[in-house]
Amino acid sequence: RQFNIESQDQLWIHKGIEAVNDSIAGEKEVRILSNDVLNALVGYLGCHVGLFYSIHNNVLEYTAGYSVPDTDTVPKKIRLGETLVGQAALKKETIHLQNLPEDYMVVKSAAGSAKAEHVLIIPLVHEKVVEGVIEMGSLTPFSDTALSLAEQVKSNITVALETAKNRSRLQELLEHTKSQAEELQVQHNELEHMNSELEVQAHKLQASEEELRVQQEELMQTNQELEERTKIVEERNQLIAERNIEIQQKARDLEQSTKYKSEFLANMSHELRTPLNSILLLSRLLSENTHQNLVAEQVEYAQVIQSSGNGLLSLIDEILDLSKIEAGKMELEFNLVTIESIIQNLKSLFSPVAKEKGLDFNISLDADV
């Protein structure tokens, strides 16, 4: 029986390796490769969320995500040593985490969300050089077989990622070389044209000394004009430099003004939410007409207020998110909270909905919590 289990594990690992190898097959760009690998590996391991980072200039850059709830909150760039992802890349060692805090990594679906209980961070290393990092979160523990599969496929993934990067760099080099060749060809054609003109001029110079004298006089005149034009160009360049300084100052002033605007919108949006939520609650209670003391027209007015308020609340939420991002205020805050406050917040949030749906909503707390 033990032999059968081991054989099944080996067969499962073999199929997983085939799935990952299929995802890295072909000539793919880095982001497409990252997405295909993440879909194959996360899906086969039964994980619920995943992130893929590729290193560029010693900085980990976000290239793909799997079931990421909000990409705006995902760090787009991570330096080596920063966060657990950067630490895994720096140490070149896999990190396996369990019993994580509530807000470390969240798994979301249309019905709700839950924290990822287990996280696996895999550095992609080839010949002692880090090429990227894969981070995966799961609601269930990683089995030894799953960990073994992750270790076995990371080498192939790393080589594929390095190959994709080299292919991209080679393509850029080829395009640059092609551009240089085209420029050289243009210069060559211009030189040939100039040589033809010089030959014609040489024949004319040989034909007559008078023509040579005239051409010398014309050349002196041309040089004088060039000097005058050079002086004009220098004056224009000086004027352009002064204008650039003015433009840069105006740009800094505009940036500061934008920052003040974003901070103002963030503060105003936050201040508007509290009274608006009260209006929504009161309008909903009025529209329900529990005491039957309102006429149909008044109930309709209350429903219009509630509908308009919900639309305004959604707009305020969007403005709040955008303004927070512009103002650089979109960050995580860690605070101590009591279980009683959490229960009270949940009751306040879901009790009206449960009541509206005709459902019983209860929260039980063990005595030892």
pLDDT in tens, 305-340: 877 777 777 777 777 666 666 666 666 566 777 787
| Of the listed ranges 20-29, 94-103, 219-228, the one predicted with least confidence | 94-103
Query: What average pLDDT does range 173-181 have in this prediction?
Result: 87
Section 248-264 average pLDDT: 74
CA distance 326 to 173: 36
The 8-class DSSP code of residue 96 comes to E
Q: Which residue has the higher pLDDT, 163 or 271?
A: 163
Q: What is the pTM of this model?
A: 0.48
Judged against a pLDDT cut of 60, whether residue 148 lies above it is answered with yes
Q: What is the mean pLDDT of the segment spanning 184-206?
A: 84
Domains of the chain from N-terminus onward: 2-173 (3.30.450.40), 250-332 (1.10.287), 336-369 (no CATH)
For residue 21, count CB atoms less than 10 angstroms from its CB and return exposed for 0-12, middle for 13-18, buried for 19 or more.
middle
**pLDDT reading at 101 higher than 80:** no
Q: 29 CB contacts (<8 Å, ≥6 apart)? A: 164, 168
Amino acid in position 130: V
Residue 19 pLDDT: 92
First vs last C-alpha separation in the chain: 42
H helix or E strand, kind and range, residue 134: strand 129-138
| pLDDT for residue 326 | 64
Closest CA to 36 of 129, 156, 151: 156
- CA gap 131, 248 in Å, rounded: 38
Confidence band of 366 (pLDDT split at 50, 70, 90)? confident
List pLDDT tens digits, range 17-72.
999 999 989 889 999 999 999 999 999 998 888 999 999 989 999 999 998 877 77
The answer to whether 326 and 262 have CB atoms below 8 angstroms apart is yes
